[in-house]
Structure 1
Amino acid sequence: MPGVDDDCVDPALCAYTEYVEGEEVEDLPATGEDAEGVEADVWDALYGVEDPEMPISIVDLGLIYGVEVTERVDEGVHAEVLMTLTYSGCPARDMLTDEVERAVAGVESVESVDLRLVWSPEWSIEMVTEQGKADLKEFGLSV
């Protein structure tokens, strides 16, 4: 990404995040509450990944837009994760996406992972779950 130093992965530099209001988006935040089987295991793994700025799950922060688990012939179980970031220029992007890929790849029976960063709809505070809002308040942020 132009203007972003790829060697800069200091999570403190992501403090740019603005918690602005946006419009609510149907089906978001995605939480995996109806997931079953391996898909539920993938969601559990994603709940274990925290934002590098603060101790809050990336799922509760609303960064995960979707998970799809499929069985591929001769390839086994494949997981696709749709994810966004709180802003497109976050220098901790690579660190966070690597952690997400490792967490999902660590799920038993998942053979391959495809993580896709998406920018639409744009992330806003409305993407945060109620648990996430409580965690942000506990962290000292007014949401």
Structure 2
Amino acid sequence: MSFDTDFDPSLEPDADCEDVSDIDPLEEPSACAYTDYTSGGEAPDEVPATGEGAEGVEADVWDALYGVEDPEMPVSVVDLGLIYGVDVTERVDREAPEEPHGGGDSEARSASDRSSGRRPREETAGVHAEVVMTLTYTGCPARDMLTGEIEDAVASVEGVESVDLRLVWSPEWSIELVTEAGKDDLREFGLSV
């Protein structure tokens, strides 16, 4: 089961979600609006992902992810084992730029484009990047800040036109997901791992 960060407006928060002190721990759990409990998707096969063997724009995305550090420790989110995967896909959008009647090269236009006064459709290529990640625990107070930093870092990669970040909770994060470089950084920071 995975959990997505997209908000589902059809999910009605239970009244218990408004004030934590009113929640009876013996009652049946209820959904809260701040977490989307949508099931679906498969758990990544090999975690943590490190970008080893990535090429081109995908390698640049991984480099950008290595540059994002956990806000509480000077360790990359990749080395902490928070990144479960990156999928980079080429996409081509066809856009028809608007131009006044009679503009452009008439021989290059189709009959329908000529009659409407539009320029021919232009193809613009770009890359869509999807990052699948987790957090050390579901109540992470830095959730919005960290996911925002990751989206911004990936969006800043040359050639990346769009970014989706999918936050999942399966498999659950554990210290075993930290890379050797991450464990070294944690030891340097003063933690015993």
Normalising by structure 1, report the TM-score. 0.81
Correspondence 1:114-125 to 2 at 5 A: 114-125=164-175
Question: Which residue in the other structure is 2:85 paired with?
Answer: 66
2:144 maps to a residue whose letter is D
Question: Which residue in the other structure is 2:133 paired with?
Answer: 83
Residue 156 of structure 2, aligned match among 82, 106, 121: 106
Question: Which residue in the other structure is 1:130 paired with?
Answer: 180
Distance 2:129 2:151 in 1: 10
Correspondence 1:15-94 to 2 at 5 A: 27-74=46-93, 76-94=126-144
Distance 2:86 2:79 in 1: 14
Q: Does 1:96 align with 2:146?
A: yes
Answer with 1 or 2: which has the greater Rg: 2
1:139 maps to a residue whose letter is F
Distance 1:121 1:127 in 2: 10
Give per-residue Cα distances to partners, 1:30-65, cap 9 Å, x unaligned. Answer: 100110000000000000000011000000000000
Q: Once superposed, what is the RMSD of the aligned Cα atoms?
A: 1.7
Unaligned runs of 5+ in 1: 4-24
| Percent of paired sites with the same residue | 81
- Tell me the secondary structure at the aligned position of residue 49 of structure 1: coil
2:171 maps to a residue whose letter is P
Distance 1:130 1:35 in 2: 19
2:60 maps to a residue whose letter is D
2:179 maps to a residue whose letter is T
- Tell me the secondary structure at the aligned position of residue 128 of structure 2: strand
Distance 1:73 1:83 in 2: 26
Number of positions where the alignment pairs a residue of Structure 1 with one of Structure 2 = 122
Give per-residue Cα distances to partners, 1:3-51, cap 9 Å, x unaligned. Answer: 8xxxxxxxxxxxxxxxxxxxxx952221001100000000000000000
Give per-residue Cα distances to partners, 1:105-126, cap 9 Å, x unaligned. Answer: 0000000000000100000001
Report 1 or 2 for greater relative contact order, CA contacts < 8 Å, sequence distance ≥ 6. Answer: 1
Runs of 4+ in 1 over 6 A off after TM superposition: none
Normalising by structure 2, report the TM-score. 0.61
Give per-residue Cα distances to partners, 1:51-108, cap 9 Å, x unaligned. Answer: 0110000000000000000012216210000010000101110000000000000000
